[in-house]
């Protein structure tokens, strides 16, 4: 447990050291979202229709971009070796890293999303649903992402390969997440989508650290 | 006590070495020697449990490694070519987190004392990025000063160190041995250690195919 | 002529600029306060109610000056960046980084007040209009500058990198502005176009101008004040800093 | 003079939230900026004085 | 000139060595594009409307993702030092690297785009315009990206910072590129947009290598 | 001929060294010595023109470095701590591209011969990733065998090499000197070179403030 906390603290410390990192992830999200109106055109009705999809896709990409960092640096400088030699089970340490990743990359998105939703003229209720869907969904992104990041570790062309592996796995989260907001905008209940998202999260919390650990062991040997 | 028998290592389609036997008891050191590419790093990683052996088996305190793994790792300190130094963290933070990950947290005073002893006085709070090559190695070596591990496996610990630091490190290793610690290390430089020890010579085999290889001289 | 140049470079040295800035900023601050008081008085008590927009239009008295300042400060930053690259003076980099946070602040205020104005006037907090969009992008450019310079430890390197960003950005700002404008008008009649007040009442114009002047004075004062902190941070180890009267206690 | 009473002034003809939201946030933002910069300068000076004092001590 | 060719060849060789790299960039593009129908819903009319914007945004992101690689590896292993010590001007070598980057990340997109455009039910003419716009636009992305990649070299939190710096500068290319296709779909001529894109390209070819070189020198000292 | 006068180097708030004078003529070597963190790497990078000097000036063949830069770089070979080895390219490809970037392309036969001489026979086509630490260094050092540069600046060239390779490298350096080449290098190990040479000792200054610093002993 100590080592778990130590890992979370160290990763948060590293993120804080790169002072701007959390903020830049946020701005990346904002910029990607703003690219769409620029590419598509400014009509409000149209934008409101595509808003949930665009916001969720941007959240996906923001989460994915920061995945590279998750294990790569630790692999290169030998920290991962040290982690696997630690008496604390590797899966626990991996969970710590995933938690830190979500705290620095997922949580800020959840908090910022309503502001951006306003730019797309979403109603207050829809904004609430958007936040809840992101709150349930972004941890899933970090968890699944960890598996991908571990699998592509030390593999040539890792960065792009990673997105190739991970994006398809993200699709359920995307469909339920964006679906929840759309259902709410369309006046249907968002509850069904949200509980499916919750189920995904539960599944991820149980299995992802284990799978990521197995993948890390492969990369290490 | 670490004992290995009949170890072999394959890399690509080469058999680097085979039939390597070794045994390290408390208070003893073992220096692994060999030309560049002979397989020293490969052997050390195998002994640390980081990569599987192509053949042979390893015992810790009389139990096969498979069983003893957790106990073994709790008592092992391994430092490889890559020193696990985070460029963005200060020397102090690097030392403290390395210790915490290894499951033996350090308080700040102890960590600072270790850094000062290893010659990083006044550099404790610089990010590792700006340290010189030798100073980075020293940050990694500071872990030795706070370690209670029984077995140290060090891959070229003397690299990049200046003469004074080499002498100091020898002293640290001697202390460890005197306390009844065990030590396995590699070095291309000649090193004088107190205590009893042995040398294991790996000679690079040029035979391209895995198979029967002349037995290496074991310690 | 060369005498003049020498004088210039004398003031361009942090050691002589530090006390100079210390003498100047209170004047600008005072002037700014007075102008702001006058401007606020005009905007609330002199300027009449707008017959179309009611009292909501009073936001104009900070919205427009803030927008102007945000664009202007970026140009000034780029100016200092160019000076820094050509003459390699240390002070110019410090001026750029002293200005950036204030510029970003005004860009933010322009967005904020614009949004607060847009809700009652257009019924939406935000529309993808050319001017709004390019102001948003300008805000991102500021943030990029600040994030980059903050991420580099060595101040001299940070200054040079920042100078490149500022210059590349200033070349791009007009390109971005016009591209957004064409984008907006080429494929649809502007769904919302800024209400171009045709003949702005003279009092309104005066109010805006005075508020703009107040913001100017504020920006100069705060930049001079901040540059003093930056100078001290960077020249920590020089003898002139050690000999400063305020360091003797 | 445009305003009959203080409450009328604060209501801003129904636009109070928007107008005061703008002016208020602007004022607050500028004041916060001033505060931050003052703090920054003070912190540098404090650090410097401490360093210089330490230097003098070691010289003696 | 020799060194220029050597650099281009080496970078292509490295890309070929990481066999999957070019393909994964392509797949990233495809996956991002396919995320939208999933996030937004399947109506053809709507999809046709948003197609140019979505395709161009995806191209932007694909180009941006591969920027990290542009100088970082060379910086870390000391190749950049060697380049700056070469008698060939650094700007020439940098141009070589940018060219190689475009060949491995931009050109494949140009070739793939029509296939994906078909999925969005674009007409043959519109597909042609799409290809031309990408052909003119993707080199601009590589050129501007090189400046950002050089500036964020060795900087903490480089990856996300890079996108923060670069994406705003990409906006004109996005607007003209997507605009060209939209104009064509709307029955207006695409010529105006395309020539503006060409102008951007000319500007980029002249100034970007110079700015990137200046930025590299800062990172190196 | 390389001559430097009054060089000084600042890192962070520290002045690492100041008033360093040095001069290297054809056929001469200069070994830069000093403890870890003394500033050897910093000095070498300065001499190579990779980072600016805080003070002092450097001359090449009697011309100030500013003017002579292009000519200087055409005749310089610099190898630092980072060896510019691409993990994904083979030893052969690494050597050939390094030479091409330096503006002196190598044909395959020459490159292969150099790799064999430096002891990488049979490893020419392995990706550098799988090579051992010392073998990677050898790939970098193979450049010396094909170099026509007049001045070599080598930062710890002996690191990670085994005893045989150290001897061989000494031979290569001697040949270079005998051809009238110049050599500046650092090493924490004692090295025997033929030809005339000098040693420059950098001693780490602990004074935290930039300013008048005791003059370092020059060659
Ligand atoms: C978030 C929303 C907004 C942003 C980012 C914004 C941005 C800007 C900018 C950058 C300028 C200066 C442009 C120039 O001088 O060329 C400006 C001026 C102006 N804005 Fe806004 N604005 C916003 C909302 C509004 C709204 C809602 C109104 C009124 C209904 C408005 C009315 C004006 C007027 C009257 C001017 C000055 C007139 C002129 O220079 O043409 N703005 N705004
Ligand atoms: N795929 C492969 N095919 C052929 N040989 C390989 C392959 N992978 C590794 N090798 C060889 O295996 C050896 C690995 O050696 P190792 O790193 O253990 O050497 P070392 O004794 O530590 O050397 P050094 O003193 O240089 O550190 C090298 O000789 C390398 O060339
Ligand atoms: N920002 C900084 N603040 C304080 N000291 C710094 C800073 N950056 C670098 N240094 C110091 O500058 C020195 C750099 O030394 P350099 O790398 O030149 O040493 P070196 O002589 O090559 O050492 P080694 O033998 O270990 O390679 C180190 O002592 C380092 O601690
Ligand atoms: Mg080894
Ligand atoms: Mg060094």
Distance CA B85, CA B130 (A): 12
Half-sphere exposure of F105 (CA within 13 A, CB side): 12
C59/C70 Cα distance (integer angstroms) = 16
Give CA C62 to chain center in angstroms.
13
Angle between helices E191-220 and E124-151 (to 10 degrees): 20
Give the count of domains, chain D: 1
pLDDT at A199 over 50: yes
Residues of chain D positioned with their CB less than 8 A from the CB of C105: 29-30, 33
Ligand whose nearest atom lies closest to the CA of B210: 2
- Distance of CA B50 from the midpoint of ligand 2 (Å): 16
Q: What is the mean pLDDT of residues F22-48?
A: 93
pLDDT at A31 over 90: no
Ligand 5: distance of its center to the CA of F163 in Å? Answer: 21
Q: How many domains does chain A have?
A: 1
- For residue B48, give how far its alpha carbon lies from the nearest alpha carbon of chain A (Å): 8
The answer to whether position C14 is within a domain reads no
Q: Which chains touch E (3 or more CB pairs under 8 A)?
A: A, C, F
> Domain residues for A27?
2-220
- Average pLDDT, whole number, for chain F? 86
Mutate to test the interface with A, among C128, C134, C177 (most CBs of A within 10 A): C128
Q: Is residue D22 a part of any domain in this protein? A: no
Please compute the mean of the pLDDT values over residues A109-138 and round it to a whole number.
89
pLDDT given for residue E214 in this prediction: 93
Of all protein residues, whose CA lies closest to atom 12 belonging to ligand 1?
C67
Contact A23 C143 (CB under 8 A): yes
Nearest CA to ligand 1 atom 7: C132
The range of the structural domain enclosing residue D41 comes to 34-60
Write phi, then psi, for B213 (nearest 5 degrees): -130, 145
The pTM of the whole model exceeds 0.90: no
Is C125 in contact with A118 (CB distance < 8 Å)?
Answer: yes
Of F154 and F206, the structure prediction assigns the larger pLDDT to F154
Put simply, the answer to whether A6 touches B97 (Cβ < 8 Å) is: yes
CB atoms within 10 A of CB C41: 13
Strand partners, B3: B23, B59
C18 lies in some domain = no
**Chains interfacing with B (3 or more CB pairs < 8 Å):** A, F
pLDDT band at C11 (very low <50, low <70, confident <90, very high): low
In short, whether C133's Cβ falls inside 6 Å of ligand 1 is no
What whole-number distance in Å separates Cα of residue F81 and Cα of residue A188?
Answer: 63
Q: What are the angstrom distances between the C-alpha of C37 and each of A135, C184, C214?
A: 46, 38, 9
Query: What's the rounded Cα separation, in Å, for the pair E132 and E197?
Result: 10
**pLDDT band, very low/low/confident/very high, at A66 (cuts 50, 70, 90):** confident
Residue D29 in any domain: the answer is no
Q: Is C121 in the pocket of ligand 1 (CB under 6 A)?
A: yes
**B98 contacts chain A (CB < 8 A):** yes
- In short, whether C107's Cβ falls inside 6 Å of ligand 1 is no
Question: Which residues from chain A sit within 8 angstroms of residue C151, using beta carbons?
Answer: 18-20
Residue C20 belongs to some domain of the structure:
no
Mean pLDDT of A83-109: 88
Distance, in Å, from the CA atom of F50 to the CA atom of A76, rounded to the nearest integer, reads: 26
The pLDDT, as a whole number, for residue E216 is 92
C192 pLDDT above the threshold of 50: no
- From the alpha carbon of F32, which atom of ligand 3 is closest? 21
Rounded Cα gap, residues E172 and E63, in angstroms: 15
Give the 3-state secondary structure of residue C213.
helix
For B125-147, the pLDDT digits (tens) are 888 888 999 999 999 999 999 88
Whether A2 sits inside 8 A of B76 (CB atoms) is no
Q: Give the residue numbers in F contacting B (CB under 8 Å), as ranges.
A: 11-12, 34-41, 81, 119, 122-123, 126, 130-135, 137-138, 156, 159-166, 188-189, 206
**Residue to substitute from C232, C237, C243, interface F, most F β-carbons within 10 A:** C237
- Search chain A and give the residue with CA nearest C128: A42
Tell me, using a 6 A CB cutoff, whether residue B207 lines ligand 2.
Answer: no
Arithmetic mean of pLDDT, C94-102: 95
Q: What is the mean pLDDT of chain C?
A: 84
User: How many domains are there within chain C?
Assistant: 1
Tell me the residue range of the domain where C86 lies: 61-186+199-236
Residue C26 belongs to some domain of the structure = no
| Cα pseudo-dihedral B124, B130, B134, B139, rounded to 10 | 30
**If we measure between CA atoms, which residue out of F66, C234, C181, F104 comes closest to residue E172?**
C181
Asked whether the beta carbons of residue F50 and residue E13 sit closer than 8 angstroms, the reply is no
pLDDT more than 90, % of chain E: 33
Separation in Å, CA of E133 to nearest CA in chain A = 13
pLDDT of residue B158: 93
**Tokens read off for C61:** 């008295």
HSE value, Cβ hemisphere, 13 Å, CA-based, for B162: 22
List strand residue ranges (DSSP E) for chain F, in order.
Answer: 2-11, 14-24, 28-34, 55-60, 63-64, 76-79, 151-154, 182-186, 196-202
Q: Tokens in use for B95? A: 């030392």
Question: Contact B165/B138 with Cβ under 8 angstroms?
Answer: yes
| Chain C from 215 to 244: CB within 8 A of any F CB | 236-239
Give E73's contacts in chain F (Cβ within 8 Å). Answer: 86
The ligand that comes nearest to the alpha carbon of residue F155 is 5
């Amino acid at each position: 447990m100590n080592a778990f906390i130590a890992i979370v603290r160290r990763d948060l410390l590293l993120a804080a050291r790169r002072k701007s990192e959390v903020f830049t992830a946020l701005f990346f999200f904002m910029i990607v979202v703003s690219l769409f109106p620029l590419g598509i055109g400014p009509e409000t009705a149209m934008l409101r229709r595509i808003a949930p999809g665009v916001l969720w896709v941007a959240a996906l990409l923001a989460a994915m971009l920061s995945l590279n960092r998750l294990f790569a640096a630790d692999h290169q400088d030998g920290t991962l070796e040290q982690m696997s030699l630690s008496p604390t089970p590797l899966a626990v340490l991996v969970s710590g890293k995933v938690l830190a990743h979500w705290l620095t990359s997922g949580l800020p998105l959840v908090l910022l999303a309503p502001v951006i939703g306003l730019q797309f003229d979403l109603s207050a209720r829809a904004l609430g649903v958007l936040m809840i869907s992101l709150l349930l969904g972004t941890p899933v992104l970090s968890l699944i992402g960890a598996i991908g990041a571990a699998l592509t570790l030390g593999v040539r062309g890792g960065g792009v390969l990673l997105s190739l592996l991970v994006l398809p796995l993200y699709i359920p989260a995307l469909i339920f997440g964006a679906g929840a907001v759309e259902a709410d905008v369309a006046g249907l209940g968002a509850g069904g989508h949200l509980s499916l998202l919750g189920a995904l999260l539960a599944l991820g919390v149980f299995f992802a650290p284990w799978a990521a650990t197995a993948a890390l062991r492969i990369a290490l040997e | 006590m670490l004992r290995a028998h009949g170890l072999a290592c394959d890399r690509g389609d080469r058999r680097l070495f085979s039939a390597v036997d070794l045994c390290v008891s408390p208070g003893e050191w073992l220096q692994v020697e060999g030309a560049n590419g002979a397989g020293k790093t490969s052997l050390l990683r195998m002994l640390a449990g980081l990569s599987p052996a192509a053949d042979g088996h390893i015992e810790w305190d009389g139990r096969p490694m498979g069983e003893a793994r957790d106990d073994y790792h709790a008592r092992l300190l391994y430092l490889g070519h890559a020193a696990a130094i985070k460029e963005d963290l200060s020397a102090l933070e690097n030392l403290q987190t390395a210790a915490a990950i290894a499951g033996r947290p350090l308080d700040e005073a102890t960590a600072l004392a270790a850094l000062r002893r290893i010659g990083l006085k006044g550099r404790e709070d610089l990010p590792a990025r700006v340290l010189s090559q030798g100073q980075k190695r020293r940050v990694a070596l500071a872990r030795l000063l706070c370690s209670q591990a029984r077995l140290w496996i060090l891959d070229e610990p003397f690299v990049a160190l200046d003469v004074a630091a080499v002498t100091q490190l020898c002293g640290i290793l001697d202390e460890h041995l005197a306390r009844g610690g065990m030590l396995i290390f590699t070095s291309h430089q000649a090193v004088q250690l107190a205590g009893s020890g042995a040398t294991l010579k790996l000679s690079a085999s040029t035979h391209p195919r895995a198979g029967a290889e002349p037995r290496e001289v074991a310690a | 002529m060369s005498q003049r140049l020498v004088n210039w470079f004398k003031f361009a040295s942090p050691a002589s600029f530090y006390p100079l800035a210390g003498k100047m900023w209170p004047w600008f601050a005072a002037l700014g306060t007075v102008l702001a008081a006058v401007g606020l008085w005009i905007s609330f008590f002199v300027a009449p109610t707008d017959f179309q927009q009611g009292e909501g239009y009073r936001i104009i008295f900070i919205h427009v000056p803030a927008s102007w300042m945000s664009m202007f400060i970026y140009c000034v930053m780029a100016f200092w960046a160019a000076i820094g690259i050509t003459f390699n003076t240390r002070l110019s980099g410090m001026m750029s980084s002293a200005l950036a946070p204030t510029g970003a602040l005004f860009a933010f205020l322009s967005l904020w007040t614009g949004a607060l104005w847009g809700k009652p006037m257009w019924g939406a907090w935000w529309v993808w209009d050319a001017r709004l969009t390019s102001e948003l992008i300008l805000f991102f450019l500021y943030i990029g500058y600040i994030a980059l310079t903050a991420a580099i430890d060595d101040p001299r390197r940070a200054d040079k990198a920042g100078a490149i960003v500022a210059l590349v950005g200033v070349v791009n700002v007009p390109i971005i502005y016009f591209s957004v404008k064409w984008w907006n008008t080429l494929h649809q009649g502007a769904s919302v176009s800024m209400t171009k007040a045709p003949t702005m009442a003279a009092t309104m114009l005066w109010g805006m101008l005075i508020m703009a002047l107040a913001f100017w004075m504020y920006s100069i004062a705060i930049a001079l004040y901040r540059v003093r902190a930056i100078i001290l941070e960077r020249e920590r180890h020089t003898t002139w800093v050690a000999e400063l009267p305020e360091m003797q206690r | 003079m445009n305003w009959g009473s203080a409450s009328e002034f604060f209501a801003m003809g129904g636009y109070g939230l928007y107008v005061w939201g703008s002016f208020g946030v602007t004022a607050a933002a500028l004041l916060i900026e001033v505060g931050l910069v003052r703090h920054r300068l003070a912190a540098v000076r404090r650090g410097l004085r401490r360093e210089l004092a330490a230097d003098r001590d070691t010289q003696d």
